[in-house]
Amino acid sequence: MSTLDGKSALVTGGSRGIGAAIATRLAAEGANVALTYTSAPDKAASVATAIEGLGRKSLAIQADSADPAAVATAVDQAAEALGGLDILVNNAGIFPTGTIEEITVEDIDRTFAIHVRAVFVATQAAVRHMGEGGRVLTIGSNLAERVPWPGLSLYSASKSALLGLNRGLARDLGPRGIAAVLLQPGSTDTDMNPVDGDHSDAQRALSAFGEYMKAGDIAATVAHLAGDAGRFLTGSAVTIDSGTNA
């Protein structure tokens, strides 16, 4: 028996990168897994097919995290298709950059809509379907706690907001036996932050291990926290960044 046998999960932004790795890892541990995406239907479909290939149920739902109604509907659709919801992974994200002089009001609104408002809305919708033992696992960033270069104020501000939100969720959901954890990855090889990108040497230089992580490394921690081992971890931020912020 696998650790997540019979559980149901929804991963936002599950078509690529860290979200795709989380979705397939949760399925490998026994969960049925729905995922959302916005612009890559083919990639989302192939993640869902891979999950079905593991013998689990899956569903790819197009839902722009910037649209709160679409997010809430996606959660309900996932719960209906999978017969409930035990695990929500708030992962969908973007990487806006620009100095304080360059950032526009539109950038600010869109970033906070995707990184913060969507987490509120998805969690509100998900916990209506969740019982005792449920998990709300949110992907933040190690840049919430340390900002080593210019141009990151908007991204970092939006990920820092998740620290307060996650603590509040722990208090609101604790009486129902639902745990909330914020995972704060560091440099991870994905389309958002490729290992051979323009800024990758600078990121490697800050890492205690001197290397990027792979999406599967983050997914392994998420799967661990989604299982019994995560039962009493709530309100905490887990920074998994190869020692970059050490």
CB of 131 to ligand NDP, least distance (A): 26
Q: How far is the CB of 202 from ligand NDP (least distance, A)?
A: 13
Looking at the Cβ atoms of 133 and 151, the one nearer to ligand NDP is 151
Give yes or no: 155 in active site.
yes
In sequence order, what are the residues at sequence separation of 6 or more whose Cβ sits closer than 8 angstroms to the Cβ of residue 40?
15, 16
How far, in Å, CA of 86 to CA of 93, rounded?
Answer: 22
Q: With CB under 6 A as the contact rule, which of the stretches 101-109, 160-168, 180-188, 231-239 interacts with ligand NDP?
A: 180-188
**Binding status of residue 10 toward ligand NDP by CB under 6 A:** no
Token pair listed for 229: 């081992």
Is residue 94 involved in binding ligand NDP (CB under 6 A)? yes
The alpha carbon of 164 is separated from its chain's Cα centroid by a whole number of angstroms, namely 16
Q: Indicate whether 64 belongs to the interface with ligand NDP (CB under 6 A).
A: yes
Q: How far is the CB of 197 from ligand NDP (least distance, A)?
A: 10
> If binding means CB under 6 A, how many residues of this protein chain bind ligand NDP?
31
158 binds ligand NDP (CB under 6 A): no
Look-up: residue for tokens 């890492």?
Answer: 207
One residue of 24, 31, 33, 37 binding ligand NDP per CB under 6 A: 37
The three-state secondary structure class of 84 is coil
Stretch that binds ligand NDP, among 17-25, 121-129, 160-168, 226-234 (CB under 6 A): 17-25
User: Which window, 8-16, 24-32, 49-57, 75-83, contacts ligand NDP (CB under 6 A)?
Assistant: 8-16
Q: Collapsing DSSP states into helix, strand and coil, what is residue 149?
A: coil
Encoded amino acid at 227, one letter = G
**CA distances, 214 to each of 61, 221, 246 (Å):** 25, 12, 19
The sign one gets for the Cα dihedral 229, 79, 25, 199 is: negative
| 30 near ligand NDP, judged by CB under 6 A | no
Alpha helices in the chain (DSSP H): 17-28, 41-53, 68-82, 105-112, 118-127, 153-173, 200-206, 215-226
Contact between 183 and ligand NDP by CB under 6 A: the answer reads: no
Binding site for ligand NDP (CB under 6 A): 13-19, 36-40, 43, 64-66, 91-94, 114, 139, 141, 185-188, 190-193
Active site residues: 155
